[in-house]
């Protein structure tokens, strides 16, 4: 039983779970827009997500990332380097337009993670700016990249799905923002710090209402899309309102973070029936 917990914790700490979440959102975008799912893009994004998220979590300072002494972190570092190499290999099979979009993502991630100002400030320390940049980065990665790789036109529906994804991510990270209240400095001015937990939950619910309403504005609506979207929205609303400062260990890091995986699984199962 202990070995299972050790492996499970490593699965979460090494950002493998979040990489599966990214993968799931790409799959959902492809189904929603009726475009093919590109295997090379999936492998690249999955591998790149592990490397990038581990860098953000453990190595925003190069010294901490490359000169690792902790054995546990060395294992995460090894996994990160391995998947970074896999991601680099699969860039050879991606379209040039995708590479350009990845450059934009890299700039945004750099602004988020790396020191910008003389006082080593980062966008991740600028409260609401952090939330917005996360929403945009996830939306580019999970909506625009598969569109570019499929050589699909940037239609009205693409931008509707893009906006839906932005609002989903903005709501999705709220349980994490509330959890981090006990760690965050008051100077960060995060949403829960600025407007309180209750108003933050109301705002997150409002974001999800907008996400659902945008479905009605699409020209093409995939079979079962309405049902799956509203079901996942209801699930996320429940998780948002159940969020609190002192959460159980895996509440956000596994259950909330796994909602995109559940979203894809529900769609997959219903589509097969």
Dihedral over alpha carbons 121, 126, 129, 130 (to 10 degrees): 80
Mean pLDDT computed over 189-208: 92
Tell me the per-residue pLDDT of 135-192, one tens digit each, with 9 for 90 and over. 999 999 999 999 999 999 999 999 999 999 999 999 999 999 999 888 777 777 788 8
Which range, of 34-38, 52-56, 231-235, averages the lowest pLDDT? Answer: 52-56
- Asked whether the beta carbons of 172 and 134 are under 8 A apart, the reply is no
Tell me what pLDDT residue 224 has: 92
Neighbours of 163 (CB within 10 A): 16
- State the pTM of this model: 0.91
The residue segments making up the domain with residue 243 are: 2-272
Residue 156, phi-psi category: left (phi > 0), alpha (psi -120 to 50), beta (remainder): alpha
- How many structural domains does the chain have? 1
Tell me the per-residue pLDDT of 87-121, one tens digit each, with 9 for 90 and over. 999 999 999 999 999 999 988 887 766 654 444 45
**CATH number of the structural domain spanning residue 87:** 1.10.600
Residue 199: pLDDT above 90?
A: yes
Please return the burial class of 35, using the count of CB atoms within 10 Å of its CB with bins 0-12, 13-18 and 19+.
middle
């Amino acid at each position: 039983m202990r070995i299972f917990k050790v492996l499970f914790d490593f699965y979460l700490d090494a950002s493998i779970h979040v990489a599966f979440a990214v993968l799931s959102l790409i799959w959902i975008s492809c189904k929603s827009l009726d475009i093919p799912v590109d295997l090379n893009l999936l492998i690249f994004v999955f591998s790149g997500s592990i490397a990038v998220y581990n860098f953000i979590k453990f190595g925003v300072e190069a010294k901490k990332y490359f000169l690792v002494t902790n054995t546990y972190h060395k294992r995460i570092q090894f996994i990160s380097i391995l998947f970074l190499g896999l991601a680099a290999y699969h860039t050879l099979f991606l379209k040039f337009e995708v590479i350009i979009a990845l450059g934009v993502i890299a700039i945004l991630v750099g602004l988020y993670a790396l020191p910008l100002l003389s006082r080593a400030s980062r966008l991740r320390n600028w409260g609401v700016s952090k939330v917005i940049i996360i929403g945009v980065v996830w939306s580019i990665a999970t909506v625009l990249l598969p569109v570019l790789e499929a050589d699909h036109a940037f239609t009205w529906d693409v931008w509707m799905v893009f906006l839906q994804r932005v609002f989903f991510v903005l709501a999705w990270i709220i349980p994490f923002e509330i959890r981090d209240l006990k760690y965050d400095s008051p100077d960060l001015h995060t949403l829960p710090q600025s407007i309180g937990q209750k108003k933050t939950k109301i705002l997150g619910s409002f974001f999800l209402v907008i996400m659902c309403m945008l479905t009605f504005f699409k020209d093409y609506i995939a079979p079962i899309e309405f049902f799956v979207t509203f079901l996942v929205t209801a699930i996320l609303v429940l998780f948002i309102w159940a969020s609190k400062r002192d959460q159980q260990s895996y509440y956000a890091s596994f259950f909330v973070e796994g909602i995109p995986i559940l979203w894809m699984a529900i769609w997959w199962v219903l589509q097969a029936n």
